[in-house]
Amino acid sequence: MAFANRREFLFVYSVKDANPNGDPLNANHPRYDEDTGKVLVSDVRIKRTIRDQWIRDGLTVFVDGELKTLKSRSDELKKLFDAKSGQDALIGCIDARLFGATHSLKGDQFSWTGPVQFKWGRSLNRTRVDLVQGTAAFATTETADQRSFRNEYIVPFALIAVYGIANQYASQQTGATDEDIASMVNALWTGTLNLITRSKVGHQSHLLMEVTYKEGFNGIARSLDERVVLRSLGGDQLSDEEQLALRGVSEVKLDIEDACEAILHHSDSIEKVRVIHSQDLEISGLELLETLGSRLVVEAR
């Protein structure tokens, strides 16, 4: 049965000496806001992290990352699910149910709006992008007298906040379930920890909040990612220089007081708030949610 409760998500994770989200049209340079000095992460990157974890978990996804045509992938899924149409096949794919899909083959066309959508992530601190150069494993030609060179970009440290929302109305079309949402939450947390390719090693999950509203509620707290700030361990605001000098979560605390107050504004309409947090990042403001009583579920990982 499709899920009936609206949800909001706040996810905070750190990146150290890695590339959070390279732009393939710009030499894989990390996506970066020059005006604010903050790195950006696309919603597509977030969804890919989740999909990759689903694949590790043995779940079937529509976008599997392999180089193939839409027709070949559609045919694979029709065979797998013994389905007559693309729509019947894609209903068996968890990413299509949650993120939506466009199927544009002749005579078999449809488009689903995904119930779950994410904003672009943005770092909470100013940071810089460093160019790192080195030698490659092989020479470019047989007659070369030295190996070729390689260039790559890394971010010394960034704590990134991501906001998401689950729309119960769109779930009626795709059939996304409460179990699908639970799987996505786990895949976002675990999948981030499993970003261990050469350019991604250095990612750590720190906070994941899932606000589940009562059935029939249509409001939102809005942009929880914009309601969290980094502070010094003493609680002071960080200067631009202090933000640029950060190299680890042990040097700061995450202040989520404003986000919690925004959530509590809808306290009467909240069914449950689930909080997953790491134990290596100090978080202030979480205690405000204790007024929810048994509706607050906190898990330390």
Dig out the tokens for 23 from the structure: 């732009």
In whole angstroms, give the CA distance from residue 192 to residue 189. 6
Q: Is residue 288 in a domain?
A: yes
Q: State residue 89's pLDDT score.
A: 98
Q: State residue 100's pLDDT score.
A: 98
Give the residue numbers spanning the domain of 203. 7-45+113-300
- Total of domains in the chain: 1
Query: What is the mean predicted confidence (pLDDT) over 199-223?
Result: 96
Q: Is residue 103 in a domain?
A: no
The per-residue pLDDT for range 20-40, each reduced to its tens digit, is: 999 999 999 999 999 999 999
Percent share of the chain, pLDDT over 70: 95
Q: Is residue 241 in a domain?
A: yes
The per-residue pLDDT for range 98-134, each reduced to its tens digit, is: 999 999 999 999 999 999 999 999 999 999 999 997 7
Q: State residue 138's pLDDT score.
A: 63
Instruction: Give, in order, the Cα–Cα distances in Å from 290 to each of 188, 261, 293, 298.
Output: 25, 12, 6, 10
Mean pLDDT rounded to a whole number for the chain: 95
> Which of these ranges, 150-159, 163-172, 244-253, 277-286, has the smallest mean pLDDT?
150-159
pLDDT band at 141 (very low <50, low <70, confident <90, very high): low
CB 288 within 8 A of CB 257: yes
Percent share of the chain, pLDDT over 90: 92
Cross-strand partners of 291? none
**Measured distance between the N- and C-terminal CA atoms of the chain, rounded to whole angstroms:** 30
pLDDT value at 139 more than 60? no
Other CB atoms within a 10 A radius of the CB of residue 170 amount to: 18
CB 19 within 8 A of CB 12: no
Q: Is residue 93 in a domain?
A: no
Q: Is residue 1 in a domain?
A: no
98 contacts: CB under 8 Å, gap ≥ 6: 114, 115, 116, 174, 176, 180, 181, 184
* Residue (of 72, 99, 102) closest to 87 by Cα position: 102
Q: Is residue 12 in a domain?
A: yes
pLDDT value at 241 more than 60? yes
The 3-state DSSP class for residue 8 equals strand
Instruction: Give, in order, the Cα–Cα distances in Å from 188 to each of 66, 164, 241.
Output: 21, 11, 31
Compute φ and ψ for 33, nearest 5 degrees: -95, 105
Q: State residue 246's pLDDT score.
A: 98
Count how many residues are written for the chain.
Answer: 301
pLDDT value at 208 more than 60? yes
pLDDT band at 143 (very low <50, low <70, confident <90, very high): low
Q: Is residue 59 in a domain?
A: no
The per-residue pLDDT for range 216-230, each reduced to its tens digit, is: 999 999 999 999 999
In whole angstroms, give the CA distance from residue 215 to residue 220. 13
pLDDT value at 287 more than 60? yes
Q: Is residue 101 in a domain?
A: no
